[in-house]
């Protein structure tokens, strides 16, 4: 197993950082890594906003549900789906690309492009001994986040990422068994999938029981059912459409 794979397999989210900023040179390298990721048809449908002003970090932390690690870290990135650049580009080229930008397919391309770029940043940062945590919480209040960062139409902040020197060393969180997520040739039948999930329910409950000295013993299914029984961020459809995206 090489260093890269060892590094990928030892990922854990870091939620406490030393009070030590990331050097600008490192930030630039991380952005280079982001840009090196594959991008659908060369479109590069993303912008990355590096938050360096503490007051903006603090405001973001508040909007993301008072997560301290959004304001206290070595660096904070916001990854945005960005078709505004393609509007400027269309001006330069004298073309109209509106129908692509507002399509479901265009929205999907953008989501994928952003996430591929972000994961390169995560892997690269961790390879340097830094810790990272994705912040989906900025989607709690996207209209406010979007305004704070002055994102124009066709630009949607999708998630943040705090990066920094780790000041915590959490354990690895067990994932679903490989048999639950990896199928051969065709999607697995329910009769084969169910026993795997039921077994993992017992295992994951045991994992939590051991880690918490019995204080918590929710298995994965029970935990997910709790998290997912109420839909989150139900304003999202309206907001995305108000940005001129994912309309048709």
Paired tokens of 61: 């932390």
Gap between the Cα atoms of 174 and 167, Å rounded: 21
Nearer to a second copy, 72 or 205 (CB): 205
CB atoms near residue 74 (< 10 Å): 22
3-state SS class at 86 = helix
| Closest among 28, 35, 47 to 117, alpha carbons compared | 35
Residues in contact with a second copy, counted by CB under 8 A, come to a total of 124
Taking CB under 8 A as the criterion, the residue among 16, 50, 153, 165 binding a second copy is 50
Residue among 128 and 210 whose Cβ is closer to a second copy = 128
Residue 10: both structure tokens together: 């030892």
Interface positions, 133-172, toward a second copy (CB under 8 A): 133-134, 136, 139, 148-152, 155, 158-159
Among 48, 40, 8, CA closest to 172: 8
Minimum distance of a second copy from residue 51's CB (angstroms) = 6
Instruction: Looking at residues 172 to 201 of the shown chain, list those that interact with a second copy (rule: CB under 8 A).
Output: 173, 175-176, 178, 180-188, 190, 193-194, 197-198, 201
Which among 63-71, 163-171, 208-216, 222-230 is the span making contact with a second copy, rule CB under 8 A?
222-230
Interface with a second copy by CB under 8 A: which range of 63-71, 162-170, 206-214, 215-223? Answer: 215-223
Structure tokens at 110: 């953008």
Q: Where do the DSSP E strands lie in 35-168?
A: 46-51, 75-82, 131-135, 155-164
Q: If 0-12 CB within 10 Å is exposed, 13-18 middle and 19+ buried, where does residue 23 land?
A: exposed
Q: Return the structure tokens found at 151.
A: 């994102």
Q: Which of residues 63-102 bind a second copy (CB under 8 A)?
A: 80, 82, 84-86, 88-90, 92-97, 99-101
Q: How many residues are listed for the chain in this entry?
A: 248
> Is 217 a residue that touches a second copy (CB under 8 A)?
no
Site for a second copy in 107-136 (CB under 8 A): 108-109, 111-112, 114-116, 118-120, 122-124, 127-128, 132-134, 136
Question: Which range of residues in 8-16, 62-70, 162-170, 205-213 is near a second copy by CB under 8 A?
Answer: 8-16
């Amino acid at each position: 197993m090489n260093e890269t794979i060892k590094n990928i397999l030892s990922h854990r989210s870091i939620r406490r950082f030393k009070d030590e900023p990331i050097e600008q040179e490192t930030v630039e390298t991380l952005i280079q890594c982001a840009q090196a990721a594959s991008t659908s048809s060369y479109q590069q449908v993303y912008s990355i906003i590096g938050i360096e002003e503490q007051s903006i970090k603090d405001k973001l932390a508040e909007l993301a549900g008072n997560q301290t690690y959004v304001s206290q870290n070595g660096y904070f990135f916001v990854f945005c789906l960005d078709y505004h650049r393609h509007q400027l580009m269309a001006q330069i080229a004298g073309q109209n690309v509106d129908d692509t930008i507002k399509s479901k397919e265009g929205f999907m391309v953008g989501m994928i492009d952003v996430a591929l770029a972000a994961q390169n940043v995560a892997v690269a940062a961790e390879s340097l001994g830094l810790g990272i945590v994705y912040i989906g919480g900025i989607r709690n209040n996207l209209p406010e986040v979007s305004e704070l960062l002055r994102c124009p139409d066709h630009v949607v902040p999708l998630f943040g990422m705090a990066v920094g020197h780790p000041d915590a060393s959490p354990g690895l969180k067990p994932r679903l068994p490989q048999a639950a997520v990896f199928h051969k040739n065709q999607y697995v039948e329910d009769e084969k999938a169910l026993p795997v999930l039921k077994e993992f329910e017992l295992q994951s409950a045991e994992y939590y029981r051991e880690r918490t000295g019995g204080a918590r013993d929710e298995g994965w299914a029970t935990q997910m059912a709790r998290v997912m029984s109420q839909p989150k961020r139900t304003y999202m459809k309206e907001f995305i459409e108000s940005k001129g995206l994912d309309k048709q």
